[in-house]
Structure 1
């Protein structure tokens, strides 16, 4: 593999306004255009989305805002094909642009590569950017802590037993009268230490101390709540009884509820609340929490992943009780026209489940359509191929059925091989 082309444009890590609008003017209308050369790994929808994002970014910058982000394009060539990847803090763009009108859109070819061009009129909200960037910084820190907890299985399991044997006590912290700013600074130092420690007992104690020092500080509650949920996950992985970790769930729920009371726009507080309800198998409450996250920030990928899992699990339980229409209604909330193309691979289990329900309801055309979606995003799914072949046979479409069975047989499906002549 060789690096074919690399463009790297680091942007200033601050919010800078030049040519700022007059006081009281919070929005600015900007016309901007951009073009994008389609890579081999792109779909048409993905390429159109990328060229629009570039134009929106340009509009934000032309409005007088440097985004706190690093943007780079990397195009790699391997086996005669090229792929292109982009990294961009599009959350900030979404916060800045309140309305986008496409003035011109066209496609052309350059050296046999499709080139997409778009010109837009964007309404840029300047006044909301500072708050958006502040939240982005906090979210990145909490997201890093969340990932850290997910990656420390081996070390944390031994700590779980220690925590079960030695409950954490409550330390008394002396807060000097009138020293609020000093207490806040100390709370942030304690939280920073908590974020970097790998010992769960210390992590909980440090975040507790930080929360005591500054009772309006949301992040310690989220860090502590995330840690309690990690303890729940570890206990579950060791086949513990629910009663063994119910106390951790209660503490996590209290922390996330308190965090939402202090800041109802904090996406990680809502993610934590959704995760807590998921552990409690309260699916309606869990999905409502994840939906709230996506309302606040549509680019919070972990919430969308959780939502896909929650809706699919809920629909499967409904299907197991033969509540077909109820299961379809649940899946409809998940699979709608607004779902980005890039998320369909994550929904393949939901599509497969819905195909089974359509078969039960004697709706083979819809079942075939869903199975075709599964196969499109996962061509090696032998089960979907066999199931679609069965439906083709029932509709007397023997050639299509044979093609699916041959593909499934090559993939190692014995049932498919046995059905071939």
Structure 2
């Protein structure tokens, strides 16, 4: 199975201006758009993932057709599939969720082209421009806070260094430390090699260049991080080519050593902690991976990549616990993530976690909590049939007939025969 590997383009988040620009004639805050989206199912997609992606494409098209002119800022990442790289925006889905207040699926169909499933969906979307502007404004505010936080960290480190120097007793003899000849030149060469590696698409060349940079400046953390992530990318490509674990385990081990060494040099480097979490995810050690991602977020609360990884690994771990009927540990795992202080803009990315916790609450006969979580899922995705069915059944058990009827009607419209059977 081919799998896309998500890697940062640089050790620091790249910011690219993205402009949604279409002809704008509507002046109303809210406008209704009927549009269509299409998605060709990839090898690594499940049916649910493909359905989500075609809906997102239709929603994005609806936002553009609504006549929105907005300039926002997104983190971009490199995605590699079959040797071809593309870029995806981590915040695109969050922004679409803010813009679209209601989505009605008018038509949904599947077909096959060249042996691959093609999903087509036609929707009626209500787009609220003010909500979108507010989401972007809030995100920019968070970025400013993040920049301020990092500046405070830098100033704090400088003050601590000055304090340590002031507290050091003066010695009788002062010595002048002179860097060895060529050291500054070596550091410059190391940075040049790293920059070249970042722009190279040849993984072996990346390894060679970052290795040279690390040798020239052993205290330079960035080459270790880039080389470690490159090793993980090589492992991912080998995995996608259905190689045996023994054929890519060496890559994972090399990555582990690079990130461990980077953390020895800089224990509070969030990118090194991210890499450490990625390694432990590969090694099927979700608790250790979760701890690494959490540490990265404690250092930089606005480290979006770490937040994405944390959501993914936590949800996956909780799902495994549920499959073995370990309800308590699964609930604890999900609560640890969903009850955190993350921004509300991350809620759409936690849809599967809320759905899973809703299922757990239902199993534990905690109907009110289950309804709350399922309502979050439906707010994110009003076409989520499973959540509608589950909430409808809970309403039915609580004898809230009208609410149950509304959920079953919506699920029936979306093509769920069992929902139609529940209607009078």
Shift of 1:130: 9.8
Given the superposition, is the C-alpha separation of residues 255 and 339 from structure 1 closer, same or farther in structure 2, using an over 3 Å criterion? same
SS at match of 1:330: helix
Select the residue among 289, 292, 300 that pairs with 1:289.
292
2:155 aligned residue:
128
How many Å separate the matches in 1 of 2:154 and 2:367?
Answer: 53
Select the residue among 218, 221, 231 that pairs with 2:221.
218
State the TM-score, normalized to the length of structure 1: 0.63
Given the superposition, is the C-alpha separation of residues 344 and 81 from structure 1 closer, same or farther in structure 2, using an over 3 Å criterion? closer
How many Å separate the matches in 2 of 1:376 and 1:349?
Answer: 13
- In structure 1, the gaps of 5 or more residues are 9-39, 44-77, 99-123, 132-176
Preserved contact between residue 99 and residue 129 of structure 2 (Cα < 8 Å): no
Given the superposition, is the C-alpha separation of residues 190 and 125 from structure 1 closer, same or farther in structure 2, using an over 3 Å criterion? closer
Given the superposition, is the C-alpha separation of residues 89 and 377 from structure 1 closer, same or farther in structure 2, using an over 3 Å criterion? closer
1:321 aligns with 2:348: no
Shift of 1:241: 2.3
1:405 aligned residue:
408
SS at match of 2:365: coil
Shift of 1:240: 2.1
Shift of 1:81: 4.3
Preserved contact between residue 96 and residue 128 of structure 1 (Cα < 8 Å): no
SS at match of 1:128: helix
Given the superposition, is the C-alpha separation of residues 341 and 301 from structure 1 closer, same or farther in structure 2, using an over 3 Å criterion? same
Given the superposition, is the C-alpha separation of residues 352 and 93 from structure 1 closer, same or farther in structure 2, using an over 3 Å criterion? closer
Preserved contact between residue 96 and residue 129 of structure 1 (Cα < 8 Å): no
Given the superposition, is the C-alpha separation of residues 337 and 182 from structure 1 closer, same or farther in structure 2, using an over 3 Å criterion? closer
2:186 aligned residue:
183
Given the superposition, is the C-alpha separation of residues 367 and 80 from structure 1 closer, same or farther in structure 2, using an over 3 Å criterion? closer
SS at match of 1:198: coil
Given the superposition, is the C-alpha separation of residues 337 and 130 from structure 1 closer, same or farther in structure 2, using an over 3 Å criterion? closer
Greater RCO structure (CA 8 Å; 6+ sep):
2
1:302 aligned residue:
305
How many Å separate the matches in 2 of 1:256 and 1:296?
Answer: 17
How many Å separate the matches in 2 of 1:382 and 1:333?
Answer: 27
How many Å separate the matches in 1 of 2:148 and 2:344?
Answer: 24
How many Å separate the matches in 2 of 1:411 and 1:420?
Answer: 14
2:40 aligned residue:
none
Preserved contact between residue 95 and residue 128 of structure 1 (Cα < 8 Å): no
Provide, for residues 300-344 of structure 1, a one-character-per-residue CA deviation record: whole Å limited to 9, x for no partner: 011111111111111111112211111111111101162321111
Instruction: Please provide the CA RMSD for this pair.
Output: 3.3
How many Å separate the matches in 2 of 1:369 and 1:79?
Answer: 25
Preserved contact between residue 221 and residue 256 of structure 1 (Cα < 8 Å): yes
